[in-house]
Structures are given as C-alpha cells and as structure tokens.
Amino acid sequence: MEKITNRLINWASVLEPTTREQAERTSALPFVFPHLALMPDAHLGLGATVGSVIPTDRTVVPAAVGVDIGCGMIAVLTQLTVDDLADRSLTPLRESIERAVPLSAGAANRKVVATAEPRVTELEAMAAQAGFDPDERAGRWRLQLGTLGSGNHFIEVSLDEQDRVWAFLHSGSRGVGNKIAQHHIGVARTLMERYWIELPDRDLAYLVEGTDEFWAYVRELRWAQHYALLNREEMMDRVLRQLGEFLGTDVVEAERVNCHHNFTQQEKHWGKELWVTRKGAIEAREGQAGLIPGSMGTRSYVVEGLGNRMSLCSAPHGAGRMFSRSAARKRFTHDELRQAMHGIEFRDTEAFLDEIPAAYKDIDVVMADAADLVRVRHTLRQVVNVKGD
C-alpha cells in the first residue's frame, strides 16, 4: 500500500502516470471522503479510474459507476473433475455454449425462454415499484437477459487446484444498463452547466442526494445492478445445462459466487454513511467470497475478503489493461494469441487479438499487490474459453 496523497491510497505496483493523474483529480473532489482507494489493476477510465473505490458524501458520480452498471462475475463449482473431461475433444462443448448463449455486442435471444421468464417477471415488478419503465431506455432488455456481450466478457470452463470443474463467466447489464447510465450521465452534465459548476473533467459530473435527479438515478441503477446479476444467473444455468448434456450427466452445484464490480451502494465507514462506488473493484468484507479473473488464457481466482479498512473493504476485479484495444491490435499478432491460448479450447480468430493476455497486467503481480485485501480460496485454469467479438 502506498499513500500518494492524504486523499489517495494506492495498491497498484504498476501504475501509469496518466492513470495516477486521473485518480488524483477524482480524489480531490470535495465530497470524496475519506480517500479514494486505487486497486492493483487500476488503469485509465472514463472520468474516473477503472480499478478504483470512490467513497462520496451525499453524492454519486454516474460516470464513475460506469456505463455497464452491475458488470461482474459468477462462478460455480461442480461435482465434476478433470477425469470427466479426459480423452474428449472440448470443441463440441464450446460450440454448444456458443449456441445456447447469444454472444457479441447487441446480441439478443429470439424469444424469452422458460428459464428467463420468472427473472423477467421479477424485473418487471421491480421496475414498477421503482416507478420507471425500462422499455423507455432499451426496448429489447427482456430478450437480452441471458446474453454475454463482447470485449472482455467471457464464459469459461476451468479446473481448480484439485482438478475440479468450475464454470465461470463475466458480463453485465447489457444495452439497458448502458442506456440508463448514458441518460443519467447526461442529466448530471446538464446540472453542472445549469449551476455553473466547474469540474476538472466533465465526466465527473455528479448528482446530489435529496434531489429528484439523484433518486431517479439510484432507483434505475439498483434495477440495472439486479438485471446484471440475473443476467449472469441465466447464462450460468444455460452453461451448466450444456456441460451436463455434453457429459451425459446432471451437473450438481457445490458452490456459487455472484458479485458485481461496477456498482455503488450505501455503506458505513469511519462512522459515516457514504455512497461507495466500485468502478472495476469488488466488495471484500472479511470472509466475503469474491471472484478475480485473469485475462484471456491466464488464471482466475476465487477469493475471500480480508476486510481491509483502508481499501474500504475492496479488492481488484481482474488484471487491468496495459494496452488500449487499438494499441494491442497494432502491437500483437494472431500467432502470439494462438501461443498464449495453447492447450485451451477457444474460437481461433483475430477478432480477439485485443484480448491477448499481454495486453493486460500480469495477474500474478495483481494478486501479489492484493495480498492484504483478499486470501485465495481457489486458483482456476481455463480449459474452454468463449467470447463474443
């Protein structure tokens, strides 16, 4: 841990100067209390740094939460072992998952399937109670429940240190969460202009607790966070069903962990009720289960929080980018991607070149930096990787 300023505490041993400058600007906002915590995977983001924990007094910065509200991970430990997968080509399993879960940006189901129906009903009731119509933000939200998206979102089948089979995936609130975020980021910017409030970055525009605009955002935000959680649950159910059909047996769950890493919620720290925004960070209270994935082709971790007070009980959400997507495409080759994915069943295409592990921080360094934030329960290595392009 490094104290950069009285308002900025850092756990990242690898920290780009531009990322540090961005975090310093955010931490200097008058309503940040007591300090901003930079996670080991910190890298440049929209307005606020990805991999940061931002506690605010009676305010929320919508762009700090981000446009993929509720994005996070889910993992399930099964009764299966490496012996169940031995001597089998895993290509049919990957392809069956790709058919069961719509992939890529804008993807949607053709209809609301039976497993998704109760989840859609739950979300409709929640929206009605919150007093807003998600159809006004994105009309296809029902059909996108149970879809992956693109970028660094993934579905994986992995093995742990005991060679037990896990299913692991990463996704968020899809198009509807994005539209909710964009709307309220725009509202916050308009309010800053209306009241002549100058900011070091227009994407740090904020909403003040007690105003109609603030509570409208919070109601829709909470709905989107729950949508993201149910989206992961729906996809996981489909993945487990495909895994069971591939092996000809029912999959029995031994453990399920589902956690956000782009969200805000009210928490008490230093005797004060605050809004704690984790932008690319997970909650890690003492004993709390969490998930920290590596990049494509590298290890992932099931962890347990240590309740570190200075981090506001938080931990990193992954490896964190070292190269932008455009820079990665210029720097790395398809052959290098193939080498990095050796021994892992994946869709071999240049579309994933910007997700090559070398475009990210070394997950071993990130986990070493996080040693006083979490303890590792399980270390996972991928055998199947599914992504949307």
Catalytic positions, written as ranges:
317
Structure tokens at 35: 């300090």
Task: Check: CB of residue 344 under 8 Å from CB of residue 382.
Answer: yes
Structure tokens at 180: 């909710």
Closest CA to 39 of 269, 315, 353, 322: 315
CA–CA gap between residue 122 and residue 241 (Å, rounded): 22
Structure tokens at 137: 């933000």
DSSP conformation class of 103: -
Helix H segments across 157-304?
A: 174-194, 212-247
DSSP for 131-144, please give it.
Answer: T--GGGT-TTHHHH
CA–CA gap between residue 85 and residue 372 (Å, rounded): 36
Radius of gyration for the alpha carbons in the chain, expressed in angstroms and rounded: 20
Structure tokens at 195: 């009241």
Structure tokens at 203: 């994407």
How many DSSP H helices and E strands does the chain contain? 11, 17
> What 3-state class would DSSP assign to 39?
strand
Structure tokens at 225: 């966070």
> What 3-state class would DSSP assign to 110?
coil
Helix H or strand E segment including 268: strand 262-269
